Amino acid sequence: MKTYSNLYIFIYSAVLVIIIATLLSFTAFKLKPRQEKNIEIKKERDILSSFGVVSTAKNAEELFEKHVIKMLVINSKGDILEGDAFTINHKKELEKPADERQLPLFECQLDGQKIFIVPVWGIGMWGPIWGYIALEDDFNTIYGVSFASEAETPGLGAEIDTKSFQAPFKGKKIFDESRKFVSVSIIKGGAPPGDIHGVDAISGGTITSLALQKTIFDCLDSYVTYFKNHDK
């Protein structure tokens, strides 16, 4: 077997690493704008799908501009703040104390009806879960929802991103008759018919279902003051 001097080994590994590092940074640099665009488009599509607008990666931007008329940043006291609602990092905001959070709120228009969209973010069973809740302009009735997860079990917890799980949220109320905030319950074994605050949980996905219920409650809770100030 050929033997190699230590010097050869040092030079060999240094050259190899430099070549590979250059190649990788060049690729990352070249592809970055495209990747960021994809993330942005994904967010726009998620927001659109929460109020039932079906989009593709191609027309998402156009539809988003058409339907989303105002992007607000508010705080838990219901004041409107300065800032760009679209780029707010929800996870970071949730780490702050409740009254320092910057909360994004999207005002949308669909067939002449005003819809308000609240992003939600929380921890599921295996990783983050997030989504968007679309409310009618009474800030009480749910118009639609969209949820997604990073690492929930496929076929079980990950089913929160399916139409069949999300459809029953439509028409549910987040306030009870005495105007108390109750959010939506995700009920294991199925919500009783006529329950205006409850939807069916995913069988086999109980932990994800409960986590989602908590996520929705916690996130909407910060908006309650704004909702109460602005409902009709």
Alpha-carbon distance values, 63 to 135, 174, 193 (Å): 19, 28, 35
Q: Tell me the two tokens of residue 162.
A: 């399916």
Give φ, ψ of 175 to 5 degrees: -115, 145
Give φ, ψ of 82 to 5 degrees: -80, 150
Phi-psi region of 45 (alpha: psi -120 to 50; beta: other; left: phi over 0): alpha
Of 31-39, 71-79, 99-107, 186-194, which segment contacts another protein by CB under 8 A? Answer: 31-39
According to the binding rule CB under 8 A, does residue 204 interact with another protein? yes
CB 134 within 8 A of CB 115: yes
According to the binding rule CB under 8 A, does residue 113 interact with another protein? no
The smaller minimum CB distance to another protein, of residues 8 and 91, is found at: 8
Map the footprint of another protein across residues 120-149, applying CB under 8 A: none
* Total residues interacting with another protein, rule: CB under 8 A: 29
Alpha-carbon distance values, 203 to 11, 131, 168, 174 (Å): 59, 20, 15, 23
Site string for another protein, 36-55 (x = CB under 8 A): --xx-xx-------------
According to the binding rule CB under 8 A, does residue 57 interact with another protein? yes
Helix axes 6-50, 60-67, angle to 10 degrees: 40
The structure tokens 């997030």 sit at: 130
Of 8-16, 88-96, 182-190, 220-228, which segment contacts another protein by CB under 8 A? Answer: 8-16
Give the integer Cα–Cα distance in Å for 227 and 211.
23
Q: Which of 62, 84, 150, 176 binds another protein (CB under 8 A)?
A: 150
Of 73-81, 101-109, 154-162, 178-186, which segment contacts another protein by CB under 8 A? Answer: 154-162
The smaller minimum CB distance to another protein, of residues 17 and 98, is found at: 17
The binding site for another protein (CB under 8 A) comprises 1, 4, 8-9, 12-13, 16-17, 20, 23-24, 27-28, 31, 34-35, 38-39, 41-42, 57, 150-151, 153-156, 203-204
